[in-house]
Amino acid sequence: MPHADFRSFLQTADEAGLVRTIRRQVDPLEEPGCYVKLMFHGLPESERFGFRFTDVSGSALPLATAVLGASTRAYALALGIAPGEINNHWLRALQAPLPTRLIQSGQCQENVLTGEDARLDRLPIPVWTPGKDPAPYITTLTVLRNAETGIQNVAVYRTQVTDAGHVVVNINPGRQGYDCMQSSFARGEPAPVAWVIGAEPECYAAAVANLRPGFDELTVAGAMRGAPINMVQAKTSALQVPASAEIIIEGEILPDAAAAEGPFGESAGYMSGGAPKPVARITAITHRNNACYYGLASQMPPSESTVLQSLSNAGVIMHMLRHEAGEERVVDAHIDLMFGGGAAHIIIAMDPVDREHVRRVGRLIADHTPVKRITIVDADIDIRDRLELDWVMSSHYNPDRDTDIISGYPTPMDHAVLPDAAGRRIGSKVVIDATRSSPMGPGSLPPRKLMEQALQSWGQDGLPDVHIRGRLRRRLERG
Ligand SMILES: Cc1cc2nc3c(=O)[nH]c(=O)nc-3n(C[C@H](O)[C@H](O)[C@H](O)COP(=O)(O)O)c2cc1C
């Protein structure tokens, strides 16, 4: 079941033990950023949780982070589904997007601050890589609108706070938000922008997915919920914003104004270089009563950012393969939870016709997505089980026969690729065919019947509970 709104999700996550509350006063410029790194890098995925800091110096509002994307379990809970259902949930939503619905008033505007009162320094905005990032960053849903088509775009573009009324937005050519911004500039107008904090969890899952141009992400979020996302008119622009959100920051990106953005601790695991990016002026802050600020924890992977992007984009790639390219023999896809927009590893389970078929699917993914490593295995392999994958690589994969290396892909985020004379990083990708392309013969486990008989005496011998499930069940079924 979907959660009524973001705060109900936070409460459910708390009850499920997925949130830790810190009540002593913390400095947003230091502790939250370090805490999320300790959590992500010090704990196995199954033990991760998010944070709520209730007393943040300089702000009356609490700060929450890492609750949506601490783990696969947290992401599934955010969507109100079981972890094994994530890809199917995505496939269903992408096939039947639901338009948003404009309503007259919304809780996100219970309090409206404009003019001198719209001050970012009232919000508990953290520094994500303390000691290295130059400033606090807003890491949340960023809404822009194409001035030509009227279609809105929602993505996450990190936004550096420069003072209480100004920010620098890391919005770059190739991004749909960039095209929206340019469409306003082409008319000689500033580009309206809104940062949405604490909208329905599905809005976050959809915003970080690489959807095709002109596709309003919130229509997919609505389909996931089985009901349209309610929107209200922003107070200072023509944008529409999710009505139940905790906080909306409204602004306008100024034509012909740029300022230094970064360096920032990025998803590649290294600091970005600083570069000039567009400047925006804040025009209003609206919020619910008792609002909670939420920042997506960024960025040394794995982070909340890479977990969200991996889980959302696996479903998008499944949809592209099955429903746009007609590759219905693809049955599952998993991205390694390190996907920060590129350079990650995707594992595909499929039932191929022949080796050429595997190559074709690999090439489709290489050409149409930013992932760098593509491993394709048979449909009966559990692509989320690292031990099973290592077995497949050892037993099914012959490197010189089964590896395609394809060069010539622009990979702006890949630190392993040196810039060329024109400053472009042109990298390569690898497709690994780890399907059983040569006959393997029978598997080397006793037949299922014998194993089941042994399991009966096993219990009588007082040995610990063992079940025939998962990898063992599949191998026995394979014979
Ligand atoms: C925490 C976080 C920060 C991100 N920061 C940026 C960013 O600064 N610039 C960017 O282009 N993409 C960034 N992304 C990735 C985009 O949000 C994502 O690829 C999105 O699908 C792009 O949408 P678009 O194709 O509509 O532009 C970030 C994602 C997350 C989760």
pLDDT in tens, 277-293: 999 999 999 999 999 99
Ligand 1: nearest atom to the Cα of 170: 8
On whether residue 439 sits in a domain, the answer given is: no
Residues 387 and 470 in one domain: no
Which of 275, 300, 325 finishes a domain? Answer: 300
Q: Which residue has the tokens 């089985």?
A: 226
Q: Which numbered atom of ligand 1 lies nearest the CA of 297?
A: 1
- Rounded to an integer, what distance in angstroms lies between the CA atom of residue 149 and that of residue 217? 15
> 268 in a domain, yes or no?
yes
Provide the pLDDT for residue 84: 96
Ligand 1 and 305: CB distance under 6 A: yes
CA atoms within 13 A on the CB side of 414: 21
Determine, yes or no, domain membership for 210.
Answer: yes
Ligand 1 touching residue 309 (CB < 6 A): yes
Say which DSSP state 335 is in. Answer: E
Q: Are residues 275 and 135 in the same domain?
A: yes
Does residue 442 sit within a domain? no
**Based on the domain organization, do 269 and 378 belong to the same domain?**
no
User: Encoding tokens for residue 429?
Assistant: 């990708």
Cβ of residue 172 lying under 6 Å from some atom of ligand 1 = yes
- Give the residue from 129, 422, 66 showing the smallest Cα distance to 270: 129
- The tokens for 327 are 């590759």
In a domain, 56, yes or no: yes
Domain boundary (243, 266, 300) is at 300
Count up the domains in the chain and report the number: 3
Q: Kindly report the pTM of this predicted structure.
A: 0.96
pLDDT tens digits for range 330-384: 999 999 999 998 889 999 999 999 999 999 999 999 999 999 999 999 999 999 9
175 lines ligand 1 (CB under 6 A): yes
Average pLDDT score over residue span 40-56? 97
Residues 291 and 355 in one domain: no
Ligand 1 close to Cβ of residue 215 (< 6 A): no
pLDDT band at 327 (very low <50, low <70, confident <90, very high): very high
The range of the structural domain enclosing residue 453 comes to: 448-478
Domain at 231, CATH number: 2.30.110.10
Instruction: Output the CA torsion sign for 68, 71, 74, 80.
Output: positive
Q: What is the CATH number for 310?
A: 3.40.1670.10
Are residues 313 and 291 both part of a single domain? no
Q: Is residue 441 part of a domain?
A: no
Return the C-alpha torsion angle 236, 237, 241, 245, nearest 10.
Answer: -20
Question: Does residue 116 lie within any of the structural domains?
Answer: yes
Ligand 1 close to Cβ of residue 155 (< 6 A): yes
Note whether 240 and 291 are same-domain residues: yes
Query: d(Cα 410, Cα 199) in Å, to the nearest integer?
Result: 33
Alpha carbon 8 to chain centroid distance? 21
User: Strand pairing partners for 430?
Assistant: 373, 405
Same domain as 293, residue 162: yes
Indicate if 358 and 286 belong to the same structural domain.
no
Whether residues 295 and 201 share a domain: the answer is: yes
CB 160 within 8 A of CB 153: no
According to DSSP, residue 122 is labeled G
Same structural domain, 193 and 322: no
Number of Cα atoms under 13 Å in the Cβ half of residue 217: 29
Task: Please state the atom number of ligand 1 nearest to the C-alpha of residue 308.
Answer: 31
When pLDDT is cut at 50, 70 and 90, the band that residue 432 belongs to is very high
In this structure, the answer to whether residues 156 and 17 fall within a common structural domain is yes
Whether residue 263 is preceded by a cis peptide bond, meaning omega within 30 degrees of 0, is yes
Question: How far is ligand 1, taken at its centre, from the CA of residue 196, in Å?
Answer: 14
Q: Is the distance from the beta carbon of residue 208 to the nearest atom of ligand 1 less than 6 Å?
A: yes
Atom of ligand 1 nearest to the CA of 139: 1
* Confidence check: pLDDT of 329 > 90: yes
Q: Are residues 140 and 268 in the same domain?
A: yes
